[in-house]
Amino acid sequence: MSLHNVTLHVPPKNKLSGRLDVLMMVSGFLLAVFVGMHMLFVGSVILSPSLMNGLAWFFEELYLVQIGGPLILLVMIGHFILGARKMPFRQKEYIAFRAHSKMMHHQDTTLWLVQVATAIIILVMASIHIYTMLDTLPITAAKSAARIQHGSWMPFYIVLLAAAAIHIVIGLYRIGAKIGFVTRANRPAYRKYMVYLLVATAAISFLTHVRLSLLSI
């Protein structure tokens, strides 16, 4: 198929498009901060299940969970819709996108395609996670451990965490590139930082799952 016969889905460059791009970056950054805080919250079980229970009680007493859960889901859906404006959903768009990416050997374009795939995974699986969490309040270390030990949720959370970590790390890197923080000169260094962040995230997630797997319930 000739690339000249394929029209890519690219939103027109105007003020509205620019503002939507900024809104997408802001919502993405806020979601990244939330995921980081959520990971630290669940990871508190590594130090002590009582610490996790205490934090959960505090959040629920202030209705941060009951209100924050649906709010985060809405922000996530909005962020996905903003990003979907540029996603190559049609087969012709995807073929042209991949062809141009290979022709230009542009790694950042490939990273964006990875973001598209992980975004779809996150939207589906995070929605299930939020619904399950709100439907089984209060949050406790014992309930989390039961899901891992007896609820067959381990593969689910591994996929969700992996997709979220990859999506967020690439997203932060691309935000830095768009605002000029990541330049052509320091780009290789920041790609290494991406790997370091992924390794740190994987380590915390691994220790959290091990602790929950060994927790007496």
CATH number of the domain to which 59 belongs: 1.20.1300.10
Ramachandran class of 105: left when φ > 0, alpha when ψ lies in -120 to 50, beta otherwise: left
pLDDT digits (tens, 9 = 90+) for 118-136: 999 999 999 999 999 999 8
d(CA 39, CA 47): 13
Evaluate whether residue 1 is within a structural domain: no
pLDDT along the chain (217 residues), means of 10: 46 72 91 93 94 95 92 94 75 61 62 86 94 91 89 87 92 87 85 90 92 86
Domains held by the chain: number: 1
Residue 19 domain-assigned? Answer: yes
62-85: buried (b, 16+ CB within 10 Å) or exposed (e) per residue? eeebeeebeebbeebeebbebbee
**pLDDT reported for residue 108:** 66
Residue 38 counted as domain residue: yes
Whether residue 202 lies inside any domain: the answer is: yes
Q: Is residue 6 part of a domain?
A: no
Can you give the pLDDT at residue 90? Answer: 63
4 is in an annotated binding site: no
Structure tokens at 60: 């629920």
Q: Is-contact 17 181, C-beta < 8 A?
A: no
CA distances 174 to 33, 78, 131, 160, Å, are: 16, 19, 30, 21
Q: Is 100 annotated as a binding residue?
A: no
Token pair recorded at residue 29:
């950054």
Q: 129 among the known binding-site residues?
A: yes
Q: What is the pTM of this model?
A: 0.82
> Domain range holding 178?
11-214
